[in-house]
Every structure is written in structure tokens, then in C-alpha cells.
Amino acid sequence: MANYDESILRTRRIRPDAPFPILHQALRIALYDEYAARAFYARAVEAFGTQPPFARIVESETQHIAALAGLCERYGVPRPLDPFPAETSVAPSWRANLERAAAGEIAKIQSYGYLLPWVAQADVQRNFAALQAASRDKHLPAFQRA
């Protein structure tokens, strides 16, 4: 079963002409991105064991999902379905997965940078900025160091 707004979620772009409010789209895009990251990092842990940085960061992604789910609940936004556990795979090499993870964190930093101006709610802005900072200041450097 697909999400009713799958094209918005996959492109990570707000569509002002969509039949869903901007806040609705922004929260669902952010949550969908966090789902994707968690699934990839969890697959890396399954494939390579509980070594850093994947093992630590998969836990962070779960916390990010919880924070965004709380905002969805507060604003009455239905959470998107999470298709990623069934469709996510990893490369056979450790290095390739580190590179993919770094690229994913860069994409998340850019995505939050894109989403932030679209939302007016202060708590959502704070959360998006904090998640962007976590990707920029913690996750990306951890993958680059590894």
C-alpha cells in the first residue's frame, strides 16, 4: 500500500497546489526522510554488526522519528506509511555504505534547509533546525571519520 502523497514524499518538495496544507506536507516529508535513514542504517547494522557509526546513529534516527511523530500528533497530521524496511538494501562493502550514508546526511541537511522557510510554527522550525544540526554536526562527521 502506497502513501496517498507518495510523489510529494519521494521528491521531497512542497507542492503549494496540492490538496494538503504546507505544514502537513513538510512534516510528512521530514518523517519520511527519517524513516529512510533509519531503515538504511538498520540494514547496515544487520549486515556489518553493531559497530559505529551505524549502530549509534540508527538509535538517533529512532529518536528523530519520535520527535516528528509527536509534532504530527500535535498538528493532526497522519504519519506516512514506512515502506523502507521492505525496500532498503546495502552495498557489499563497508566503505560504499559509509559513502552512501554521508550522501544521505548531506541530502537531509539540504532537505531541512528547504523545508524550514515553508513552516511558520515555531516548534516545528526548532525541531527541523535541531534535526538539521544533528545531521550536519554529528551524523555527517561520524560517517566521514569512519
Kindly report, residue by residue over 64-77, the tens digit of the pLDDT: 999 999 999 999 99
Alpha helices in 3-139 (DSSP H): 6-11, 22-48, 54-75, 84-87, 94-115, 122-134
- pLDDT at position 2: 86
Half-sphere exposure at residue 19, Cβ-oriented, CA atoms within 13 angstroms: 2
Q: What is the mean pLDDT of residues 86-91?
A: 96
As given in the structure block, the three cell numbers for residue 72 are: 504530527
Closest residue by Cα to residue 84 from 24, 25, 33: 33
Report the C-alpha gap between 77 and 71 in whole angstroms: 8
What confidence tier does 41 reach under pLDDT thresholds 50, 70, 90?
Answer: very high
Place of cell 533509519: 38
- pLDDT at position 113: 98
8-21 confidence digits (pLDDT tens): 999 999 999 999 99
